[in-house]
Chain A
Amino acid sequence: MAKPATFLTLTATVTLLLLLLNISFGSTYISPFELLQLPFGRNQDLAEILWAFRLPKAVTCLLTGAALGTGGLLMQTLFRNPLAGPDVLGLSSGSSLLVALVIMLGQSNIAILQLVAGSPWSLAIAATLGSALVFVLMIVISRFIKDNTSILIIGLMLSAATTSVVGMLLYVSKSEDLQLFMIWSLGNVGGTNWKEILVLACVISIGISIAISQVKSLNARLLGDTYAQSLGIPLAQSRFWLVAATSLMVGSVTAFCGPIAFVGLAVPHLVKLVVPSSNHRIILPLVMLGGACLLLFCDVLTHAFGTTILPLNAVTSIIGAPLVIWMVVKNKKMTL
């Protein structure tokens, strides 16, 4: 096996290339050569497009992909279940519920609610709270139920229940609210401005920092709870931080980009398929870069069909599902 550092350099290079590719693709194609000439040229229009649209979108992909990949890895290790992921456990559904509520409140006649719901932070806070609530609920349940499969089933049921509440809310809402929510729920990395990206970057940095600080406990958890405990890992405390990190990251991503499916589940598996290791010191940075790569690539694909821009979630699932199926068939069983 090649050294982990080699893989890291390789993945970083691929990420950079995809970043360039991502910036090139859009409603008008800008060739990478033009991009490189830009700092020296006087093409004001191009610079404008780049600064206002292409760069924010690419940076959002980068941040969001890293956050979702990391979140998926944390969940899979915490629950010791290869099928765990933010969306499977109902986190995104929780976010959806609160976001739907906030979108509806924004259209209400009550001034104070309009004020609260109208602020640029409200969606982010609502989505973060939504996913945090669901996750805390899952953690409480997981304290009483040790069986991973049961927890997963409960997560799915929770997700179904929340989705149905969202459905009821949407049923009674006005059509413009409905459309707003539909667009949000299909996922979109192109709608963020630099101010929002700054918020996203801050929250995700905190989440990733926490994740990195938990590397030791993540590794020890691979041996099972009792072994981890006997190695001096404060289980409850570390579980709290893992919950907090995942909720922050998935919550903020869901807030600004909508519930992006599949990346969180697929990326850790894809990374482990390429680099057969379970050491989080190696896997964690690779998962961040891998998540960024996958999302940058999927976003390029949404622009690949001329003027029609495909919804991001459709592409992530279409890319993600065959990849995961192929892996399962190839490996016979998924690994943690």
Chain B
Amino acid sequence: MHTENLSVGYAAGTPLVLFEGLNLQLSAGELVCFMGPNGIGKSTLMRTLAGLHQPIDGKVVGVDVKSVALVLTERVATTNMTVHELVGFGRYPYLNWSAKLSTVDEQKVDEALAMVHLTYLSAKKINELSDGQMQMVMIARALAQETPYLLLDEPTAHLDLNNRVEIMKLLRTLARTAGKSILVATHELDLALQMADVIWLATRNKEVITGMPEDLVLSGAFDEVFQLKGFDLKTGKVFHEPFRNRTVKLEGTGPVYLWTKNALERNGFTISDTAALKIAVSEQRWKLNEKEFTTISGLLTRLLQFEK
């Protein structure tokens, strides 16, 4: 799928152009994360790519109703419907007017549920699912449609971290093993940076910057679009103000080192190799001026006493 000089927006009433002259491409086996500020038109662009919304200008090449499956933000409110039935809707483009699923269709539904590891939920009513399960079922529904392209609009919104990671990992796997071309609109900056093959970055100039996440980080494209407030992209962490004006030297390795550093920086210390004050960390032991501590909290209390 690719677009040629695509302009997206609303022509009716007062014309509203959201994007102009887009030349984008989606390739098989790629997970693309589509990012940008709220209200910039990500959903509209996705609907246009899916052929559900008329472009203002230009065209989308290589899609029809049978090649794109969607996962939307709107929640299916119907009760009295089983997970199996909901996933079965994915087979609708293949059915005639009577909407009767054949044995082959039923099999595809089971396969789709197996792909998201939710076979055990098949007979459950959809209003009994958790938000995370519901989102996975909606992905299964899209998979049952057997399309080369999968467009998902904020599939991880309202989910806890564990569910968010699970869904992104699933999409990552689907792109690699099933060769799907997946476009995910998301606000999960940290997850997108770690998981996406390509990032589409919607800017306020009605264009979409594309590139490898790492390249976009280093070129400063993210900072420009998001005008990040306190998140340091170069390190992938929240930026801490070194308000104590005190440098400490930290010696050690592994997770213990990283989390100690995190605690110190959050409390306003600066880590430097040339500092006089030295902290040595090892397995569950923190050593400061020959005195040993068994928790970071104990270490910090001591450090703060020095400050007074």
Contacts and interface: CB of A to CB of B under 8 A. Distances in A.
Nearest to A225: B74
B70 A219 contact: no
Interface in A267-284: 272, 276-281
A225 B96 CA distance: 19
A220 B85 CA distance: 11
B104 interface: no
A256 to B, nearest CB: 30
Contacts of A279: 81, 85
Contacts of A107: none
Interface stretch (B87-95, B112-120, B185-193): B87-95
A174 interface: no
Contact of B72 (A220, A227, A278, A281): A227
B65 interface: yes
Contacts of B68: 230
A335 B80 contact: yes
B78 A278 contact: yes
A220 B89 contact: yes
Contacts of B97: 213-216
B98 interface: yes
What is the interface of chain B mostly: helix, strand, loop, or mixed? loop
A216 B52 contact: no
B69 interface: yes
Given A232-B65, A281-B99, A227 B89 contact: yes
A276 B52 contact: no
Interface in A172-231: 213-216, 219-220, 222-224, 226-227, 229-231
Interface of B: 47, 50, 52, 65-66, 68-70, 72, 74, 76-81, 85-86, 89-90, 92-93, 95-100, 145
Contacts, number: 76
A216 B95 contact: yes
A267 to B, nearest CB: 16
A272 B100 contact: no
A227 B70 contact: yes
Interface string A220-250: 1011101101111100000000000000000
Contacts of A226: 47, 52, 70, 72, 74
A233 B92 CA distance: 9
A279 B88 CA distance: 11
Given A215-B99, A219-B89, A281-B98, A230 B80 contact: no
Contacts of B81: 222, 277-279
Given A216-B99, A224-B72, A336 B92 contact: no
